[in-house]
Structure 1
Amino acid sequence: MQNLPQDSRMVAIRNILTRLCKYSGLSSDRLRNTEIDVEPLLDLVVVRQRALRTGRSPEESMLPVVSDMARRLQPTDRLIADAALSLGLLRESPPDGVDLDRLYAESLGQRREYLAEMWQRLHETLRAEVIPEAPTVKRLRTSSEHDAFTALAGLLAGESSYTIPQVAPTPKIVVTLPNSQPRPGMVTVVGDAVMDHLYRVDRIPAVDAPARGNSYSEHPGGKGLNRAVAAARLGLQVRIVSALGDDENGRRIREYLDQAGVRTELIKTAALAPSPITAVIMTSSGDMALIGVQNDRVRLEVSDLDGPDIRAALGASDVVLLTFEHPTSIIGQVLAMVQSMRPKPRLIVCPTPSLRVPQDLYRYLDAVDYLVGSADELEKMIPAVTAASSEDVAQRLRGLGVGAVCTVGEFRCAMRSDDLNVDVTHFPRALNNAPGAAAAFSAALAYRVVISEGSLQKEDLDWATGAMLLTQKLGAVPSAMPLTGDIDQIFERYTTDR
């Protein structure tokens, strides 16, 4: 088991936990007598370490280890794992108004029903900053438990340095990163989620030069969704703030995000309206043209941001990643909210060439820690001035208050900030461009900001740039987003001894 890749271990553990939650849940007796192959669980480093320190069997050590790991989950995942596996975490300090005998009933179905019934009260007991809409029993069974067990399995599979806790940890959002140190890692993405219609063609069509199509496919996409999925694949906890229609495409996008490990409770649903669609026309060399179709009713309003849920989500984030597909009023509101927060989350902003930024937004640019875009996108940020070069654009944007300017394109990156003046140009490439490259870079940058606690070094930028190299696949963008191990290999291959 320990020789499997970490992702494979995580999947195996998640599948075992899913099966063990049936009937009365997880217990040492169940582990001894079950027909389920639980050897991968018993062979985990954290379990063997606990057994060695306490002198108990692996079966007796499993429940306290899983319970300790479950306490590290964010409140919603913690409650779901606790009830599904009948861990009894709330028995340590019984909350008023909660019948623990029903929450930890012998039947899994009864536990699910009571969890859904007491959803609000249980979240309040854990002092959750964001309380998602109460799920149905069916949703608990089909997607919510899958998400919670994925997070729990990730902790169990990744933890290699485990100590028996001396005090009960708080329900802080925690993930286990490749260096095996538990760290906070919540990213909130404010951006679009769409259904991409991908056309692979021999050329970008023109009025007098039609293109010949080679293939067609549909898949979820959008600058916001791509970055959210990319961040989730790197092991971070991720939420997305967006708007969808109440249609089949909207349901497919939500399901995809759920399966990718991206939380969707902050997505607004517009009744009786179609979800956004983008036609992506792409050649074999990676050149692209886009056509966006969006119903005016499928959009965020300023009033949507005034509620406590989104404000609390932004405030609880380590990184806020903002893309510029929403109306400028929404962009300005998010910038203003982050600017006013103390402590302030790190803010990564990704502009778009279709939006010339109004000067009203300039007053918020000192809240931007990292501005990431192509040379064209960044130049549109200062439309009133003709810049001589990308270097000139970066300096002007920094003069407006931006902390660091990252110019990305053709699998290259240049960062200009007070601490770093770096050009990363040594990675090889096969294509001119890839539709997922910028998303991979932005997510990888967010990841390195989290694990470095905001103090980036040159190797962090090398690592984030290397993530772009792995997106040279002409297909669905989210599926091309790399894992941390993939980026580590690219980083080691091309940056060793430089």
Structure 2
Amino acid sequence: MRRTDDAPIEEGAFAMVAQDSGMVAVRNILTRLCKRSGLSSNRLRNTEIDVLPLLDLLAVRQYAWRAGIAREEAVLPLVQELVLRLEPTDRLIVDAELSLGLLRERPPNGVDLDRLYASDLGERREYLTQRWDVLHEAMGAQRIPAAPTVRSLRAAPEHRAFTELASLLATASVFDGAHVVDAVIAASEITVRQSISAKSRGAVTVIGDAVIDHMYLVDRIPGPGGTARGSYEEHPGGKGLTRAVAAARLGMDVRLISAVGDDDAGSRILEYLRSERVDTELVKVVPYAPTPVTSVIIAGTGAASTIGCKDERIRLSAQDLRSSGIRNALAGSDAILLTFEQPTGVIEQIMAELRCLETRPLVVVHPAPPLDRPQYLYQYLGAVDYLVGADKELGALAMLPDGATGSGAQTATLLRALGVRSVCAIQDFRCTVWSDQVSAEFQPFPTALEDSVGAHAAFSAALVYRLVSTRRPAERNDYVWATAAMVATQSVGDVPGAMPLVSEVERIFRLATEEH
């Protein structure tokens, strides 16, 4: 059916069109840059080719920002790194025709690098076809295709190689402030920060989502077919972001591991995190994908209902977790705050990494949203020091059926049998704890609201604040202090904005202890 001019196009279709057109534009630029001496920063500055689509790529902009160099200077090292991901034949073609010089550091025997990287494209092509087998062996190829002629090389092989490279450039997800291929530099800087943090307020790594919250503030949440009057606000949010802000406001050194889109909403989230002194270096930025949105309906009592609008492209991957930057962040932290907002496989890989650490950080887990296959995590629950969630969330992790009438104590026993050291059930500003040291219910001060969206985040961050310097199990007053932090979040609207300072928690804590 033919589309009329005013027929709507879905947002995903726009993204695919933009992605495909971006790849084609970059491929055309790269193939034109092959002429003469190949790719260089001087060539990009002085060429008659319109190279702006290449310089405007997210990966190029972030690489340049990271290294403190001009975008023209960032293209060559970035391309040299990305080319290493290509198959040997594609890598060889791109290396020779763009004159990247990948073989200069370790010149292979029998290869004349002056001819392979000659100033004339025609000579580079001719030498490439002549020394085809030797060059493939130098690239570590397991299977060597038949050598092409110069004419046939210019057809399908070149088109395929440059299409693959352009696709990598146009779609590469990057970490904010640190391109994924720059992991060595990122790891070294993280290590330096960790050594500083360990001597000061404690280094905390948070793993969870960062989204834009669409907040609908109503007198009451309407039922099916009902209506309600209210107001609307937009704020950065997400379980991961809120916990990161909560920990930073308590004075700890915090970094967030998350993912956002390469759009205005993603930029807004990154700016907000930096304004709250949260390190965003390990927040992945995904091109051609919108930052997720969560709709939150909050009643006047503080009770809330949420609708999460996810995009499968905006998430961490197994490849991300293999980067030295993230692995060093996990190993060098004093505490890890983890939510279940990432795919089950990613959560499983994080838990496995934590379990294998020789010196393990304090691990606090919020088991929400519920996982499809929680049993896959059971073998790793021995790495969890504190499991913090509502009764329903804890029951889902213990695989209790919906509507099960088992008590919180029974759920806690099941989870502790799987290795969790302490279970904290939170409901309506109350906290009930089951652990070897403490088994009690805490409600330190009367509250005006019934609930608060940010209460769980405040509790977890406050508990970490009390324990990160002592490395001892939580005692009664630690739980009282963390519960006081929940009470301090009583507000509707901006969820991370309600996260308290130490002085605010201390004030409520003193009131609570005076009452008791």
TM-score, normalised to structure 2, is 0.62
Match of 1:473 in 2: 491
Give the whole-Å Cα distance in 1 for the aligned partners of 2:334 and 2:459: 17
Query: Which has more radius of gyration?
Result: 2
Alignment of 1:71-220 (within 5 A): 128-130=189-191, 172-174=195-197, 183-212=200-229, 214-220=230-236
SS in 2 for 1:360: helix
Say whether the 8 Å CA contact 1:357–1:383 is kept in structure 2: no
Residue in structure 2 matching 1:416, options 434, 456, 462: 434
Say whether the 8 Å CA contact 2:249–2:499 is kept in structure 1: yes
Aligned residues: 335
Give the whole-Å Cα distance in 2 for the aligned partners of 1:307 and 1:395: 36
Identity over aligned residues, as a percent?
46
Match of 1:403 in 2: 421
Match of 2:36 in 1: none
SS in 2 for 1:279: strand
Amino acid aligned to 2:429: F
Amino acid aligned to 1:307: S
Give the whole-Å Cα distance in 1 for the aligned partners of 2:396 and 2:305: 18
TM-score, normalised to structure 1, is 0.64
Match of 2:21 in 1: none
Alignment of 1:223-372 (within 5 A): 223-372=239-388
CA RMSD of aligned residues (A): 2.4
Shift in Å at residue 289 of structure 1?
1.1
Say whether the 8 Å CA contact 1:412–1:427 is kept in structure 2: no
Residues 1:354 and 1:366: Cα distance change in structure 2 (over 3 Å): closer
Shift in Å at residue 391 of structure 1?
1.1
Structure 1 residues 259-308: Cα deviation after superposition (integer angstroms, max 9, x where no partner): 00000010111101100100101110112111111222111111110110
Say yes or no: does 1:486 pair with 2:509: no
Residues 1:266 and 1:127: Cα distance change in structure 2 (over 3 Å): closer
Give the whole-Å Cα distance in 2 for the aligned partners of 1:388 and 1:291: 28
Say whether the 8 Å CA contact 1:356–1:380 is kept in structure 2: no
Amino acid aligned to 1:296: E
Shift in Å at residue 387 of structure 1?
5.6
Say whether the 8 Å CA contact 1:257–1:263 is kept in structure 2: yes
Say whether the 8 Å CA contact 2:302–2:491 is kept in structure 1: no
Say whether the 8 Å CA contact 1:346–1:454 is kept in structure 2: no
Give the whole-Å Cα distance in 2 for the aligned partners of 1:348 and 1:387: 26
Shift in Å at residue 470 of structure 1?
0.8
Moved more, 377-386 or 457-466: 377-386
Shift in Å at residue 494 of structure 1?
1.2
Alignment of 1:374-413 (within 5 A): 374-384=390-400, 386=404, 388-413=406-431
Residues 1:126 and 1:473: Cα distance change in structure 2 (over 3 Å): closer
Match of 1:63 in 2: none
Residues 1:203 and 1:237: Cα distance change in structure 2 (over 3 Å): same
Residues 1:400 and 1:340: Cα distance change in structure 2 (over 3 Å): same
Match of 1:167 in 2: none
Say whether the 8 Å CA contact 1:183–1:451 is kept in structure 2: no
Give the whole-Å Cα distance in 1 for the aligned partners of 2:405 and 2:383: 23
Shift in Å at residue 171 of structure 1?
7.4
Structure 1 residues 130-176: Cα deviation after superposition (integer angstroms, max 9, x where no partner): 58xxxxxxxxxxxxxxxxxxxxxxxxxxxxxxxxxxxxxx972338x
Say whether the 8 Å CA contact 1:356–1:383 is kept in structure 2: no
Alignment of 1:12-23 (within 5 A): none
- In the alignment, structure 2 segments of 5+ residues that lack a partner are 1-67, 69-176
Say whether the 8 Å CA contact 2:365–2:386 is kept in structure 1: yes
Give the whole-Å Cα distance in 1 for the aligned partners of 2:259 and 2:433: 32
SS in 1 for 2:397: coil
Amino acid aligned to 2:334: D
Match of 1:373 in 2: 389
Give the whole-Å Cα distance in 2 for the aligned partners of 1:306 and 1:451: 29
Say whether the 8 Å CA contact 2:187–2:324 is kept in structure 1: no
Say whether the 8 Å CA contact 1:286–1:435 is kept in structure 2: yes
Residues 1:127 and 1:264: Cα distance change in structure 2 (over 3 Å): closer
Say whether the 8 Å CA contact 1:187–1:237 is kept in structure 2: yes
Give the whole-Å Cα distance in 1 for the aligned partners of 2:314 and 2:443: 40
- In the alignment, structure 1 segments of 5+ residues that lack a partner are 1-79, 81-115, 132-169, 176-181
